[in-house]
Structure 1
Amino acid sequence: MSARILVVDDLAPNRNLLDVKLSAEYYDVLTASSGEEALEIAAKERLDLIMMDIIMPGGMNGFEATRILKSDPSLYHIPVIMVTALEESKDMVRGLEAGADDFITKPIDDFNLTARVRSLLRLKMTTDQLMSHTGHTAENCRPMFEKIQGRKGRILLIGDEGGQPARISRMIGEAHEVVIEYDPAEAMRKAKSHFDLVIVSLVAKSFDGLRLCASLRFSAETRDTPILVIGDSDDQQTFVKAYDLGVNDSIMRPVETQELRARMATLLRRKFTADSLKENFNEDLEMVISDPLTGLGNRRFFDRQVEPLFDELKDGGEDFSILVFDIDHFKRVNDMLGHDMGDQILKEVAARIVTNMRAVDIVSRYGGEEFMIAMPGTTQDEAFFAADRVRQSMAGTPIFVDGQGLSITMSCGVAQVIPGEQLREVFRRADTALYHAKRNGRNQVKAADLGRTESKTATAA
């Protein structure tokens, strides 16, 4: 993945080493020799990741620079990896408290560097997508991301009984809901019941951790669930296989509490951000294709849904027909009773139409008080009788709104699609039939002319 990374270190050899390693992976690398210079570059350049050395004598250290970055509304969303030769947990804690997202210790091996960088860049990419989709800027999206970071996750721990899982669970504490499983088959079954993160031991004696990871990635229900694996530092080949199978991150034994929590936090933030992106997309899609009042599809939904029917008919597919319903005297109802009551009537009309149509029929509110229906595999005569069934249902039973019974009727135009017609053409024929139904007294169904001289009408008895 292409990205721009800022490397911050007071020593030129360290900067050059990381520059070479990251450039070899085709990243665009910028460098800074102090915390102050890093802040200046971050304010001017678009960055996807910052690798910050902790100890920089004679100027602003990594802790201070990270704290300032994370307090800046326009920069706080950029992931920061702390780079240090120190391995004491107090330095890890201090780095995380300053706002760092992860850390890596010197000497830096290529495998660990690649894993850390890719994990944080995926998080950055997902956050950028969410900001773009919601229209947020870096300055105003902080509450959204703080809410995501504050979510409690469901974690599934899989390992040997009496071994690692219980200890890992204690490290996680009460920040998340933790479920421990020792049997791989049962673990797979549980993993399909919505977990936000699965932690798998690669050193388990009772099952093959790599095979379990492969199964998790193969299953449709768990394909997108983040996987964190735990293994031995001297078994890099197993880690390589795990990443080839699609695991998201790794941690080596002995597991440090702060390192574990940092890895988990990154994966959970990415998972929750992706979930938010999906939810937001689905909400937007729902708004685009559905009518918020009745819950039916809207005009755009209808046009998209019927397009394949026209294509199939051109290729000799089955007949289908279009119905256009309109509520009689609806403007008068709105003027006399008010728009709130008019809305209630529209909801009830929509419900009755759906109740009287088949599951395969495409039902939409096409606009105002007009409803459009496509009936696949239906001739004009068959569609005519279906339309009259809806009309009778509407006319035969009052609609009750706020305890008041209202007599509502509908008129309808029906047209079978002629091969070669476009939607606008068949709509025009059905709408013309509807117009004649209304002119002839309303509360009736009128069939469009199919090229014959006769036409058909159904009226109230």
Structure 2
Amino acid sequence: MSARVLVVDDVPANIKLLEARLTAEYFDVVAAAGGVEALDICTRAQCDIVLLDVMMPGMDGFEVCRRLKANPLTDHVPVIMVTALDQASDRIKGLEAGADDFLTKPVNEVALLTRVRSLVRLKLVLDELRMRAATSREIGLADPLAEAAVETGVGGRVLIVEDRPSAAERISAALQHEQTVEVEADPQEALFRAAEGNFDLVIVSLGLNGFDGLRLCGQLRSLDRTRHVPVLVLVEADDSERLMRALELGVNDYLLRPIDRQELLARARTQVKKRRYADRLRDNVQHSMELAITDGLTGLHNRRYMESHLGAVLERATARAKPVSLLILDIDHFKAVNDTFGHDAGDDVLREFALRLRRSIRNVDLACRYGGEEFVVVMPDTDIAIASVVAERIRRNIATEPFAVNQGTRLLDVTISIGLTARQDQADTADTILKRADQALYRAKRDGRNRVVADAA
């Protein structure tokens, strides 16, 4: 996994130390010596995560964090505060400012890399949701970003997995004024309840008697129903090895014992808010897309959505100097299918083609029906060499297995022609990249069909 990390510190030696550690793990690092510069870099979407020093002249880290989280353009960027302050009150102040996590100086290298990777994974998911949400807003639908941003993190459903009654009672008492709390002492039963209970947060003690709490964390991350539920672990202060393992498993946050009540409340609110933010983005995006920009026959996005989405993808790629590739696919001799076997058979071919196309691309790629028997695939962060491999895989998946039509009574051999191109420079627009791919498609059909041709420009 690679990402761009912004390191904000007024001491050059501190920047060089963090930069050396991060670049050794193949992260791109940019630096800012103060808060104003950091805010500018983030506003221009030039980082994926911020490592933010607290003690800086002029604007301190708390104020920088507050401004980042108050700006709709930057509120989704994860912030890790790096500080020599280790009091619970300082962590609470940072959490209330919107910080996602903390690292205490001197920075432990394992903790640094684990935290950065964990938050980058989360941001990659949210970036895709936000991109889709922005597209729905641009074409005149309800704005899911504005709706998602109003969450406070209060009133969530929290499951506490703790087999020590006194500890469970203290945690429950601290949370119950802001959250709806349930307690489960049996970890196996807790897994079942988490899967069925639609919780906003699961708090897991790593000190369970006779059961490895890490195993429960891993199970929560492996099940479809609990994969997106935030998990916060409770761990002894000297148990750093198990804490690192928990973070590697995808745990979202942790608290060291003895637990500070105010920090528990603040971290619970943060995780509930993140869960609801992501869920609302998913729900609103899915609903609005289905209503307005989905092709009714194939279930793929339609041309209207694709053109807006492609524009957003190209804009983001330009800001981050990333590649974008695009495929245009055309079903060969499709008119003959309709003329010979009827339009019902043609519809069968289109539906099956869409299914095979979806199975051949990544979740981050966008497949749409461009019109008639033409389809488009938009591939963010993908160069033309990789896109060529994917295009050939799609072509084979179509050509090697006949299509069943007319309720399975007839099998038809189907082939496709594919034209592909990639973003070349900042001047590329949705129209220019589509035109180049269409020209490549024309050459593929002219040269005999059932082939992939890349734009030669």
- Structures share a fold, TM > 0.5? yes
- SS of corresponding position for 2:52: strand
Kindly state the Cα deviation for residue 261 of structure 1 after the two structures are TM-superposed. Answer: 4.3
**Superposition map of 1:229-378 within 5 A:** 229-284=233-288, 286-287=290-291, 298-300=296-298, 306-307=348-349, 376=407
**Is the CA contact (8 Å cut-off) linking 1:92 and 1:258 kept in structure 2?**
no
Tell me how far apart the structure 2 counterparts of residues 275 and 162 of structure 1 sit (CA, whole Å).
Answer: 32
Distance 2:352 2:88 in 1: 67
> What do the CA deviations read for 1:39-75 (whole angstroms, capped 9, x no partner)?
3433445222222212124x22222333333344433
* Alpha-carbon distance between aligned partners in 1 of 2:122 and 2:273, rounded to the nearest angstrom: 7
Q: Greater Rg, structure 1 or structure 2?
A: 1
CA RMSD of aligned residues (A): 3.6
Check conservation: 1:158, 1:184, Cα contact below 8 A: yes
The amino acid that maps onto 2:134 is G
CA distance in 1 between partners of 2:96 and 2:226 (Å): 32
The residue aligned with 2:169 is 166
Shift of 1:190: 1.3
Preserved CA contact (<8 Å) 2:49 2:120: yes
Give the SS at the match of 1:160. Answer: coil
The whole-number CA distance in structure 1 between the counterparts of 2:117 and 2:267 is 12
C-alpha distance in 1, partners of 2:199/2:92?
A: 27
Partner of 2:147: 144
Query: What is the alpha-carbon distance in structure 2 between the residues aligned to residue 243 and residue 304 of structure 1?
Result: 50
Match of 2:202 in 1: 198
Counterpart-to-counterpart distance in 1, 2:275 and 2:345: 35
Q: Is the 8 A contact 2:153 2:273 kept in 1?
A: no
1:144, CA displacement in angstroms? Answer: 2.6
Q: Distance in 1 between matches of 2:24 and 2:266?
A: 26
Counterparts of residues 378-389 of structure 1 (less than 5 Å):
none
Q: 1:175 corresponds to which letter in structure 2?
A: E
Instruction: Provide the C-alpha distance between the structure 2 equivalents of 1:31 and 1:246, rounded to a whole number of angstroms.
Output: 27
- CA distance in structure 1 between the aligned counterparts of 2:200 and 2:277, rounded to whole angstroms: 12
From 180, 183, 187, give the equivalent of 1:180. Answer: 183
- Residues 160 and 206, structure 1, Cα contact 8 Å, conserved in 2: no
Unaligned stretches of 5+ residues in structure 2: 300-343, 354-404, 415-457
Task: Please state whether the residue corresponding to 1:135 is helix, strand or coil.
Answer: helix
Structure 1 residues 234 and 310, CA, compared in 2 at 3 Å: closer, same or farther? closer
CA 1:304–1:226 in 2, change beyond 3 Å: closer, same or farther?
farther
**Cα separation, partners in 2 of 1:111 and 1:62, compared to 1, 3 Å:** same
2:50 partner SS: strand
Structure 1 residues 195 and 150, CA gap change in structure 2 (3 angstroms)? closer
Alignment of 1:53-202 (within 5 A): 53-57=53-57, 59-135=58-134, 143-150=146-153, 152-193=155-196, 194-202=198-206
1:227 matched to 2:227: no
For 2:144 and 2:410, how far apart are their aligned partners in 1?
Answer: 52
Matched letter for residue 152 of structure 1: G
SS of residue in 2 equivalent to 1:31: strand
- Return the TM-score normalized by structure 1: 0.58
Does the 8 A contact of 1:157 with 1:180 survive in 2? yes
Q: Which amino acid aligns with 2:150?
A: K
Structure 1 contact 8–15 (Cα < 8 Å) conserved? yes
Q: CA deviation at 1:121?
A: 2.5
- Residue 85 of structure 1 deviates from its aligned partner by 1.2
Secondary structure of 1:192's counterpart equals helix
Is contact 1:5-1:30 (8 Å) kept?
Answer: yes
Contact 1:63 1:95 in 2 (8 A): yes
* 1:201 Cα deviation after fit: 0.8
Task: Verify the 8 A CA contact 1:126 1:270 in the aligned structure 2.
Answer: no
What is the deviation of 1:181? 0.9
- The total of aligned residue pairs comes to 313
The CA distance in 2 between the partners of 1:99 and 1:219, in whole Å, is 29
Task: Name the residue aligned to 1:38.
Answer: 38
The answer to whether the 8 Å contact 2:159/2:183 transfers is yes
Q: Which residue identity lines up with residue 207 of structure 1 in the other structure?
A: F
8 Å CA contact retained: 1:169, 1:178: yes
Supply the distance in 1 between the matched residues of 2:104 and 2:173 (Cα, whole angstroms). 24
Task: After TM superposition, give the deviation of residue 133 of structure 1 in Å.
Answer: 0.6
Is the CA contact (8 Å cut-off) linking 1:84 and 1:104 kept in structure 2? yes
For 2:168 and 2:210, the matched residues in 1 are separated by 13
- Point out 4+ residue stretches in structure 1 off by more than 6 angstroms: 288-291, 302-305, 308-311
The answer as to 2:67 corresponding to 1:25 is no
**Scaled by the length of structure 2, what TM-score is found?**
0.58
Q: Which whole-Å CA distance do the structure 2 matches of 1:97 and 1:34 have between them?
A: 21
- Structure-2 separation of matches of 1:220 and 1:45: 31
SS in 1 for 2:165: coil
Percent of matched pairs sharing the same residue: 42
